[in-house]
Amino acid sequence: MNITIHGVRGSIPTTTLETKKYGGNTSCVEVEADGWRLVLDAGSGMQHIHAGNGFRNNRVDILLTHLHIDHIQGLGFFKPLFNPESEIHIWGPASKTQSLRARLGRYFSPPLFPVYFRNLTCKLVLHEVDDSSFAIGPFHIESCHIMHPGPTLGFRVRHQRGTLAYLPDHEPALGRDGLLHDVKWLSGSDLAKEADLLLHDAQYTPEEYKDRVGWGHSSLTDALEYAALTGVKKLLLTHHDPLRSDEELEKAFRHLQETTSYQFPYALAYEGLAIQL
């Protein structure tokens, strides 16, 4: 399976020269295998997905972890939504109070967006999921609520060639003593467990996190410890703070390498990164 990272920035896109190396687009990851395609989150990075033909039934499955704007703002600019030939499935977190259609409809309506949901011309199917397990072509997917404000899912995408865990907005350390070391008490640990690749929230430095407890994100060090506790084989740190320049990001990363020792490889996710599992 081929994984391409199209967006690694948290909260808001940035366009400065200082953030060019890692990229300024918000969360979006493309996963492709056997002619099937998944898009994990529809952040501004989604604009770089070229939805040409060659995919089975012209089908694309978009899996939304949650509906914060940085994870859906690319949706309206995804051309296949306006193509009657394409079949789009959107999978998103269920809510007790409002349907996924109603919640996404707030974005797909003026004044935020000129086109109403009902005017999208593709064949559109919405799926509400919570702690679920479902199949999309060759992929087996598990979703589960994780710690982040509002209904938020993490995903575990399993293909015969490997397993990807995707938890871009996640604060498992929320609590008095930070991360609980018993994995049973660790949010999302079933999703991450022994995955070949984990993409995890690492928005803050440990110092910044002290002032942002409860904001729904992780520090670089907590992301590493989380990966160690769940036994993942490789970790990619993502959801970089929009104010963090490439230089600062690399400085924080170097500090991490100097002050910690973990057995598994880890790296900073960047836009355009392609990985094969």
Residues engaged in binding Zn ion (CB under 5 A): 68, 70, 169
10 Å Cβ neighbour count for 228? 16
If one asks whether residue 212 binds other proteins (CB under 8 A), the answer comes out as: no
If one asks whether residue 146 binds other proteins (CB under 8 A), the answer comes out as: yes
If one asks whether residue 213 binds other proteins (CB under 8 A), the answer comes out as: no
CB of 92 to Zn ion, least distance (A): 13
Nearer Cβ to Zn ion, position 70 or 246? Answer: 70
Looking at residues 34 to 63 of the shown chain, list those that interact with other proteins (rule: CB under 8 A). Answer: none
Q: Which listed residue (5, 81, 122, 174) binds other proteins by CB under 8 A?
A: 174
**Partners of 197 in beta bridges:** 164
From the list Zn ion, other proteins, none, pick the one residue 81 interacts with, judged by a Cβ distance below 5 to 8 Å according to partner type.
none
Listed residue (236, 136, 146, 151) closest to 195, CA to CA: 236
If one asks whether residue 228 binds other proteins (CB under 8 A), the answer comes out as: no
Q: Is there a contact between 39 and 65 (Cβ–Cβ < 8 Å)?
A: no
If one asks whether residue 215 binds other proteins (CB under 8 A), the answer comes out as: no
- Give residue for tokens 């993502």: 238
How far apart (Å, rounded) are the C-alpha atoms in residues 22 and 25?
Answer: 9
Give the CB-nearest residue to Zn ion.
68
If one asks whether residue 176 binds other proteins (CB under 8 A), the answer comes out as: yes
How far apart (Å, rounded) are the C-alpha atoms in residues 262 and 44?
Answer: 32
From the list other proteins, Zn ion, none, pick the one residue 222 interacts with, judged by a Cβ distance below 5 to 8 Å according to partner type.
none
From the list Zn ion, other proteins, none, pick the one residue 109 interacts with, judged by a Cβ distance below 5 to 8 Å according to partner type.
none
Nearer Cβ to other proteins, position 85 or 130? Answer: 130
- Residues lying near other proteins in the complex (CB under 8 A) are found at 94-96, 130-131, 144-147, 151, 174-177, 180, 183-190
